[in-house]
């Protein structure tokens, strides 16, 4: 749960992986650069966040083999994927207590193309932030603390 976004109650989605030890065709292709792995997972996050009704704040990717971390707002992933030129028929929104309603979404997420059009890649890179979750939350809390408190409608 992330309490650092002002006036919002959201969940962060964190993907941790170890490309040196983990080999699974559904989790990603190896070897891939960290940046390509980030885009692949961000596409899956874009679809996953469409499959439910709760609000996702940020998506983090953490390569535990070397410690690299990056993040992007979940709504940014949805803006970038699928691209407007693609026609994807989305299944109905999944029901929280019904695992069967997630199956069509999982199939869709596993079919995400591994490659990215070069024209779109720069958009992904511009929104990708190389920063740890701890640093993001620490900075957001500090910004909230420094923000002037306005009480009774009076200016500070």
Instruction: Give residue 119's pLDDT.
Output: 82
Burial of 48 (0-12, 13-18, 19+ CB in 10 A): buried
The residues spanned by each domain of the chain are 11-130
Structure confidence at residue 29 (pLDDT): 54
pLDDT tens digits for range 61-86: 999 988 999 999 999 998 899 876 67
* Residue 42 pLDDT grade (very low, low, confident, very high; cuts 50, 70, 90): very high
Residue 66 has a pLDDT of 87
pLDDT at residue number 125: 93
Cis peptide before 31 (omega within 30 of 0): yes
């Amino acid at each position: 749960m992330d309490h650092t976004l002002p006036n919002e109650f959201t969940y962060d989605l964190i993907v941790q992986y170890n490309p040196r030890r983990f080999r699974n065709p559904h989790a990603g292709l190896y070897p891939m650069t960290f940046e390509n792995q980030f885009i692949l997972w961000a596409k899956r996050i874009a679809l996953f966040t469409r499959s439910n009704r709760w609000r996702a704040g940020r998506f983090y990717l953490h390569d535990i083999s070397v410690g690299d971390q990056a993040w992007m707002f979940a709504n940014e992933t949805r803006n970038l994927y699928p691209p407007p030129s693609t026609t994807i028929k989305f299944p109905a929104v999944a029901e929280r207590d019904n695992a069967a309603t997630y199956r069509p979404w999982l199939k869709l997420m596993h079919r995400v193309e591994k490659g990215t059009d070069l024209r779109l890649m720069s958009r992904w890179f511009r929104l990708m932030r190389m920063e740890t979750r701890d640093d993001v939350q620490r900075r957001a809390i500090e910004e909230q603390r420094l923000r002037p408190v306005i009480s009774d409608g009076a200016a500070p």
